[in-house]
Amino acid sequence: MKTQQYIDSGILETFVLGAASEEEVKELLYMKAKYPEISEALQQLEIDMEKLARDLAVEPPSGTWYKIAQEINAVIPHQDASPQVFNRRDSRKRPDTENGKDNQYIEVEGESSHMRLHKAWRWIFAAVFVLGKIFLAFAIYFYLENKHTQQQIQEMRTEIRELKNKK
Amino acid sequence: MNTQVQNSASVGQSRLLLVHKLYQQYAGMLLGYMIDVIKNQAVAEQYLIDIFKNVPHELDELTNPDVNPFCHLQAMARKKLADYSSRSTPENESKPALCNNKYTRQMTEEQQLIFCGVHWHGKTIASLATELGKPEEAIRKILKDCFTIIRSNN
């Protein structure tokens, strides 16, 4: 009877909506562990929340997971790289251990030949490429302009020479 | 002391697979919820990324059979959105927190005010009680009725 009153009070609904106070949460977790009916009622509410969310779901853009995976990959290796006890039997024999030396050094050289760059470099590379094209266009323009001027000078010299000869 | 840092790639990979599984199952649901709250898809997507970035820290809890993974992820989203809600509280508190979907359309205006206020606008039971001039117990009972409507809707 007490459990039914508790369920009917609406406290479970308040909890699944994240609006319960700390005290209410503590009490609810205690009640949930003690009374299976409360646990079942809570599970049903959680299913209702899923149902509501599923009906109002919006598909994330295709690149979203890639961004998340990249960020997680940058964090996970550091978290998991905790030192573990060296096991001589399990490890492959290496030249220095064969010589009786302790395995004090860790090979840190990466196997990948690729380099990762920050995305900002994309714009820098694009700017350098565009500027390169602009300089090239100017160079060609001034080369042709210069060639044309040289030709004109040559023609004028010829004309002056001819005029002098006539005099 | 002989120590060796063993390759942790496989452990990291299995964690990433777990996160991916959760993402496939719940990312759309979380994104839909956050878009409804903040009404800005680009910001909601960024919040989604931020939430799933933190999922590896919560994997023990999320893989606990006693915990509903979606509700836990939604709680993470609510925490994330708390800043947003508190920033927009002065305006929101004065506005009626109504919403429009196939579930809330079946609710009375009062039920909508309470359910939408708590679920999407981050209002507390106490603030709604003050706003509507009702005791907190009554607000909780109305919330319960809202869930009955959601459950009965197919």
Chain A nearest C-alpha distance from B69 (Å): 10
B82-127 tens-digit pLDDT: 876 655 555 555 555 567 788 888 999 999 999 999 998 888 899 9
Supply the pLDDT for residue A147.
96
Residue type, B89: T
CATH number listed for the domain at residues B88-154: 1.10.10
pTM score:
0.65
Pairwise CB contact (< 8 Å): B140 & A13: yes
Asked if the ipTM is above 0.90, the reply is no
Query: What is the pLDDT at residue A95?
Result: 45
User: A75 CB near a chain B CB, below 8 Å?
Assistant: yes
Q: Characterize the bridge pairing of strands B3-4 and A84-85.
A: antiparallel
Asked if B23's CB is within 8 angstroms of A18's CB, the reply is no
Quick one: pLDDT band at residue A86, thresholds 50, 70, 90? Answer: low
- Average pLDDT in the A51-80 region? 83
Q: Is the pLDDT of residue B73 over 90?
A: yes
Q: What is the pLDDT of residue B5?
A: 44
In chain B, domain spans: 12-85, 88-154
Whether residue B3 and residue A18 make contact (CB cut-off 8 A), yes or no, is: no
**CA distances, A16 to each of A30, B15, B51 (Å):** 15, 27, 19
Angle among Cα B26, B121, B81 to the nearest 5 degrees reads 55
In chain A, residues with a C-beta closer than 8 Å to the C-beta of B16 are: 69, 72-73, 76
pLDDT digits (tens, 9 = 90+) for B20-55: 999 999 999 999 999 988 888 999 999 999 999 989
pLDDT band of residue B4 (cuts 50, 70, 90) is: very low
**DSSP three-state, residue B3:** strand
- B79: nearest CA partner in chain A: A18
Tens of pLDDT, residues A119-149? 889 899 999 999 999 999 999 999 999 999 9
Please name the fold of domain B12-85. Rna Polymerase Sigma Factor; Chain: A (1.10.1740)
CA B128-B136-B29 angle, 5° bins: 60
- Nearest-Cα distance to chain B for A51, in Å, is 8
Asked whether the beta carbons of residue A9 and residue B140 sit closer than 8 angstroms, the reply is yes
Q: Do A14 and B125 touch (CB under 8 A)?
A: yes
Q: List for chain A the helix, strand, coil content (%; round to 5).
A: 70, 0, 30
Sign of CA dihedral A131, A132, A134, A135: positive
- Decide if B146 and A13 are in contact by the 8 Å CB cutoff: yes
| Closest Cβ opposite residue A91 in set B4, B68, B125 | B4
pLDDT greater at residue A91 or residue A26 = A26
Give me the residue from A10, A43, A72 closest to B140, CB to CB.
Answer: A10
Res A129: pLDDT: 96
C-alpha A50 chain-centroid distance: 29
Among B147, B149, B151, most A C-beta atoms within 10 A, so best to mutate, is B147
- Higher-pLDDT residue of B126 and A106 is B126
From chain A, the residues in CB contact with B29 under 8 A are 50, 53-54, 56-57
Residue A24 CB neighbour total at 10 angstroms: 15
